[in-house]
Structure 1
Amino acid sequence: MESLLPAGAPDPATLTQLVVTPDANADGSEDICATAGDAFRAFTGYSGASITEAKRMSATGWTKRDIVGVWDVSGDKVPDLLFRDDNAPNRGLALRKGKPGTNGGADLSSLATAGASNGAQDYTYGTSGRDKATCPPGLPGRAGKPVPWAAGWHIRPAGSPSSCA
């Protein structure tokens, strides 16, 4: 399926990860978070046929990170960013708390960097065992379709089952 991208959007061939999220910024449309090399990006106003805005959230720091999702993890009714952080292997999963947006949802700029977030830091959400070597993304599932690594069980390289979630 093709979607129209707005001016300033990166070449889709440069995107290394895409994660569709519920309406994180409360504009009435789903949003997409993506990585493109070392950059973290947000695409807002997704209608299935087009995207309203493409915004580079952070230019660096995402080569060793994977987006898990954007939703209210902390329970404050504001979407947060949950990601795997291989930059800090002792942390595994990190939580970046969103700040409220003017129309509800999250102010997406608060998810761009730890310093801009609610609390001005990334919180440890999970510890070891979630690095790419232990818990690789996109392992084969039923009918050969990849299963997101955070979705549950996977097979470790040694062959024993393990839970990544």
Structure 2
Amino acid sequence: MSKIQSQQLRIIGGQWRSRRLRFPAVDGLRPTMDRVRETVFNWLQHDIAGARALDAFAGSGALGFEALSRGAKEVVFLEKHPTAALQLRENLEILQAANAQVWAGDALLWLQQNPEPFDLVFLDPPFGKDLLQPAIDALRLLPGALVYVEHEVRLQPLFPADWQEIKHKETKEFCFRLFEIVAD
């Protein structure tokens, strides 16, 4: 039985700026790249402090840790892979972050069973698994909430009418977008 290798990510801003955290090298886990995270958190710079955030399909936790580092009030990490979920918990202990929790299980199931409101949601599911549309459909958010979505360029997800796109960028491989939930 082979031991799962680990990799590192670097928090790029906030109180833990430049801290490095380990994450397991498991299939399908691809942390949001530093330059993309920098762009996203520039978009969100005035909306993080005091936010209640959800990092669905957390993987390495790069987005959730970045939000915590920049003043999010709370982050809930959802991660199905047991090794990745365990590493998220260990990283929270290392950072002494008491304002976060990890739910080790299916993110879609959690979203269906927990319709609680969040100010900020990160949706960056593993590519090629058809998880994005069911996650979008399961989310119930209040007006004013922000949703970051990262997906393959070839995907054309259907977004609810109350999701107004406010930012959009893409590379050859993937799109990253920011939506605000508006009143119907």
TM-score strictly above 0.5: no
TM-score under structure 2 length normalisation: 0.27
The structure richer in strand per residue is 1
TM-score under structure 1 length normalisation: 0.29
